[in-house]
Amino acid sequence: MGNRRMMPYHWSWIGACSIGTSHLRAGVGCDDAGACVETHGPRGSVLIAVVSDGAGSAAHGSIGARIVVQNFCRRASAHFARPDGRTISDELVREWLDDIRDRIGDRAERVGASRRDFAATLVGCVVDSDGATIVHVGDGACVLRLAGVGVWEVPSWPTQGEYAATTFFVTDDPEPRITVRRVSGRIEEVALLTDGVERLALDFASSTAFAPFFESMFRALRKSSPGRQRRLSADLRAFLDGSAVTERTDDDKTLILARLAEGP
């Protein structure tokens, strides 16, 4: 979870993945993946953040999650590297998803598995000076706050499948169920989370963000300089590993928090 380009930072961000206690008991690793990068587009700074949760029932779900995260960042970064890289259309999002599915298919073919064996969700958010585009497949959520506004918005709510405790995946056939949401305005703070954090961060009774959670999570980041905050990321990992969280969820957990520290 970092930045690959030498450029002035305008965003400060932290991120962490934590292995669920159920996975620790079973002796398996974390199926989640996440990344956050800041790049530069035709209209200034662009933040790209993405999280993915590999399906526990999928033999290679953790690899699927990494492929989703790596290639969402790659495609979004390449788009804004173009002189005309501005609007993210629904058609472009589908191109990105088709490319991710093709790469998963290539990996599956190499190991003699099916694409379904790499099932993973996607919550991606791209923020520029005009607003944010959220790309969502499955559960997890993106929560954000506009500059000068105290209300936390959840542009795309976690999606549940036909049966309880099921959801949708990038690898679903014949095509994934994609939600694309756009939020206009100056985005000041944004958080992405996988389903292991949902019960801490979201109020399912009112379908809203649980504001006290985000206010406490962003408190230290609001005092930070631009760029990735490694110490605070380590503190976030310790929090997700701690008993206050693991007593409420035994699932893998990934959380990314980013704040606009300087105007692009």
Bond before 158 cis per omega within 30 degrees: no
Residue-level pLDDT at 263: 60
What is the 8-class DSSP label of residue 151?
Answer: P
For 15-74, what is each residue's pLDDT tens digit? 999 999 998 988 888 999 999 999 988 888 999 999 999 998 899 999 999 999 999 999
Other CB atoms within 10 Å distance of the CB of residue 94: 15
- Among 166, 214, 179, 175, residue whose Cα is nearest residue 193: 214
| Whole-angstrom distance, CA of residue 107 vs CA of residue 252 | 23
- Among 179, 10, 218, residue whose Cα is nearest residue 90: 179
Collapse the DSSP code of 231 into the 3-class scheme (helix H, G, I; strand E, B; otherwise coil) and give the result. Answer: helix
Which tokens in the block code for residue 168?
A: 């949708």
Which tokens in the block code for residue 59?
A: 């033999």
For 164-181, what is each residue's pLDDT tens digit? 567 999 999 999 999 999
Low-confidence ranges of the chain (pLDDT < 50): 2-5
Residue 61 near residue 122, CB atoms below 8 Å = no
pTM of the entire predicted model: 0.94
Rounded to a whole number of angstroms, the distance between the first and last alpha carbons of the chain is 21
Bond before 42 cis per omega within 30 degrees: no
Residue-level pLDDT at 154: 98
Residue-level pLDDT at 4: 46
H/E run at residue 195: none
